[in-house]
Chain A
Amino acid sequence: MAIYLGATQLDGVGGGSSFPNTVSFTSSQLWSVPQSLRDAISANGSVKVATLIVGGGGASNGGEVIYEIRTLTSSHYYDSNNNTILIAIGAGGSVGGETAIAPQLGSTSDVLITVRSPRGGGLGANGSYSWDIDGTNNLVDTFNDVYTKSSNGNPYITEIRGSVYYGSYSSYYFTHSYSNGIPTASTNSSTNATGDSMSAVISTDSVSYSGGGSWAYDGGLYVTVRKSSLDFNNEASPTGLIASGGNSGTNSISNRASTQGYYGGYGASITSTVDNTGQHQKSGFVKIFYF
């Protein structure tokens, strides 16, 4: 029975140990963040909530269970108006999905890579160089499989840069325009004071160049490509709050070889090293406790 002093409840409040509000999710959706939390993030930069997150169960391992007090910041908002946060509920299945309170997916950054750096070694006045994503000039290793593709299947390019030699090395930027990562112009040229010209023909995966007179394409070849992030799938440095699905491999603390004691969902095999077959895998779950 509650105890009041006038209109003020004296018992069951205070102490800072309870979260009076909860919200649960069993399917992926946008959570309309309560005004009280939005105000707190706006005023203080962050707000603490308690989270219970369960990854989707796999065939032989349950999804991991995480219960932690976590800090929500503006970086977790999904929409530009800072009203919603994405809740991703991992599915059960042969390999379970990851459950997360995730920042907006697919954030991008542009990364400069050196395709070839022959400064002083010479690509010469005329020649060509190409790169690809699966062959000898492999970008996959460089980008750990997470780079954006343009519609033609090649890396999404934001700039190709080379240098020319004319008495001394100088930076020369191919001033092509790009549309969705694909060069839209095929040639570019630059002419020095004596009328010698330098030109380049650029495609998404190669450049051909030719110089006249004292020009030489000789200062290296650099390509800036677009890299995309999938925050909920980056267990090494997650920016969301993630519970890995069962069978997510050694990175997952739900791996049955783990000694950390985090197991959840069906198929959990806490002490045995034998797959727990025959059980139906459960999907993930998110519950948020907040003031």
Chain B
Amino acid sequence: MTVALIFNGKVVNRLVVEDLETAQHLFSNLTVIEDNDNNYNVGDNYTE
């Protein structure tokens, strides 16, 4: 699956991961959201 990594309200990378839980563990200091539909590009703003 594809996830977007959020840091300080911006998408900083898009990665392929096995599952969301693993990604959240790996990048515990970032916000990790599922983005299989490519809704977010690197550099986009993200608001929860």
Contact = CB atoms under 8 A, between A and B. Distances in A.
Contacts of A97: 13-16, 42
Q: Which size class do B's interface residues fall under?
A: 20 to 34
Q: Which of A86, A95, A149, A284 has its CB near the most chain B CB atoms (within 10 A)?
A: A95
A219 interface: no
B43 A230 contact: no
Nearest to A283: B16
Interface residues of A, number: 32
Q: Determine chain B's interface SS by DSSP, over half rule.
A: mixed
A98 B13 contact: yes
Interface of B: 2-3, 7-8, 10, 12-18, 22-23, 26-27, 29-30, 35, 38, 41-43
Q: Determine chain A's interface SS by DSSP, over half rule.
A: loop
A275 to B, nearest CB: 15
A93 B12 contact: no
B21 to A, nearest CB: 13
Nearest to B43: A95
Q: Which of A29, A30, A97 has its CB near the most chain B CB atoms (within 10 A)?
A: A97
Interface in A70-117: 86, 88-91, 93-98, 105-106
Interface of A: 26-30, 56, 86, 88-91, 93-98, 105-106, 145-149, 228, 230, 232-233, 245, 248, 283-284
A284 B42 CA distance: 15
A283 B2 CA distance: 9
B20 to A, nearest CB: 12
A158 to B, nearest CB: 17
B42 A248 contact: yes
A270 to B, nearest CB: 23
Nearest to B23: A28
